[in-house]
Structure 1
Amino acid sequence: MHVSPDAVPTMAFDWGFIKWFVTPSTVEGAGSTFGEVIVNPGRGHARHNHPDAEEILYVISGEAVQTVADGEPFAIKEGDTVHIPAGAYHSTFNATWRPLRLIVTYTPGGEEKALEGAPDLRVHEAGTVAEWRQA
């Protein structure tokens, strides 16, 4: 199956954007979730966890400060990979002036559904361009 970025909606938040390319609810037979996340400069997401799924982050470009579980914050940059065990609290903060681009996976898939209840969520339909406005 081929999935174009223009064929999937964009989830926009105060901190950035997500496009889910493969999820169990959108691709028949999929057991994991795969998507791209953009964290805007000077932004990050709140510390949270995924009780039933592990997460893997791969940094396409940019730099950030990452936390996993109770460990010390550490720097991540282009080419780095971060494994987040199921249930581990974590956060990502982009303290630079450039956007941070990540590939994100959940195994098993389905954890992306939790984002649908976020109070700052705005969904841009497939094929439209999400506009970023700094708060």
Structure 2
Amino acid sequence: MHVSPDNVPTMAFDWGSIKWFVTPSAVEGASSTLGEVIVNPGRGHARHNHPAAEEIIYVISGEGRQMVDDGEEFAIREGDTVHIPAGVYHSTYNTTWRPLRLIVTYTPGGEEKALEAAPDLTLHEPGRVAEWRQA
């Protein structure tokens, strides 16, 4: 199956945006989730966990700080990979003026559904380009 970014919705938040390319609910037979996450400059997402799934983060471009298991933050940059076991708390912050682009996977898939309840979520329909504004 081929998935184009133009054919999936964009989840936009105060801290950045996500496009889920493969999810169990959208791709028949899929048992994992894969998407691209963009963390806006100087922003990040709060400490959270995924009780039922491990997460893998691959840094496409940019730089940031990563916390895993309430440990000390460490630097992440292009080419780095972070493994987060199921249930472990973590957070990611962009420490630069450029977007931090990540590929994220959940195994098993489905944890992305929790983001639908986020109070700062704006869902942009497929093909629609989100307009970004600095507050």
TM-score range, shorter chain: over 0.9
Give the secondary structure class of the aligned counterpart of 1:86: coil
1:51 aligned to 2:51? yes
Equivalent residue number for residue 39 of structure 1: 39
Equivalent residue number for residue 122 of structure 2: 122
Give the secondary structure class of the aligned counterpart of 2:113: helix
Hey, which bits of structure 1, 4+ residues long, moved more than 2 A?
A: none
Alpha-carbon RMSD: 0.5
1:113 aligned to 2:113? yes
1:95 aligned to 2:95? yes
Distance apart, 1:129 and its partner CA: 0.2
Give the secondary structure class of the aligned counterpart of 1:31: coil
Q: What amino acid sits opposite 2:13 in the alignment?
A: F
Distance apart, 1:42 and its partner CA: 0.5
Query: Unaligned regions of 5+ residues in structure 1, if any?
Result: none
Distance apart, 1:134 and its partner CA: 1.6
Corresponding pairs, count: 135
Give the secondary structure class of the aligned counterpart of 2:86: coil
Structure 1 CA distance for aligned equivalents of residues 130 and 36 of structure 2: 14
1:69 aligned to 2:69? yes
Residues 89-126 of structure 1: CA deviation (Å, up to 9, x unaligned)? 00000010000000000000000000000000000000
Query: Unaligned regions of 5+ residues in structure 2, if any?
Result: none
Structure 2 CA distance for aligned equivalents of residues 42 and 11 of structure 1: 19
Using the size of structure 2 for normalisation, the TM-score is 0.99
